[in-house]
Amino acid sequence: MMANSFIPIGVKIIGYQSIFYGSLMSLIGIFLVIFVIIYPYPFSWPFTLFQMIPALIFFIFGIISIIVGAAFLKGSNIARIIIIIFSILDLFFFPIGTIVGTILLLYLFSPGVVSYFKEY
């Protein structure tokens, strides 16, 4: 069990946000698959299968986001590193992604957060 049960508020926010958006992405992926099955592209099965690729990508990244968010809340340093990698990728999505990625990177490298993840 954890020696210190205090979880920094930013860690809670990032973890729950990751779980929420992962759930949302998974649902969007499921709805896209259902939509493609109900309304397939006329006369072309290969194109219909090609349409399912984005849906599967949404679903897979949603599941990954849920797992990473749950691990982040439990204090997993690997989850912290994965979120750092995603935050670096966010920097390329100007202007909002750059702002969000910068804030996340500054927070994830702050001494209090680093020490919290080193405990586990």
Residue 69: name the closest of 5, 7, 6, 2 by CA.
Answer: 7
Q: Quick check: is 4 in a domain?
A: no
Query: Does some domain include residue 112?
Result: yes
| Residue-range definition of the domain harbouring residue 21 | 9-118
d(CA 12, CA 10): 5
Q: Model confidence over 24-81: pLDDT tens digits?
A: 999 999 998 888 888 776 666 666 777 788 889 989 999 999 999 999 999 899 999 9
pTM of the model: 0.81
Helix, coil or strand: residue 44: coil
Number of domains in the chain: 1
The chain-wide mean pLDDT, for the chain, equals 87
Element containing residue 50 per DSSP (H, E): helix 45-73
The single residue listed with the structure tokens 């919290």 is 116
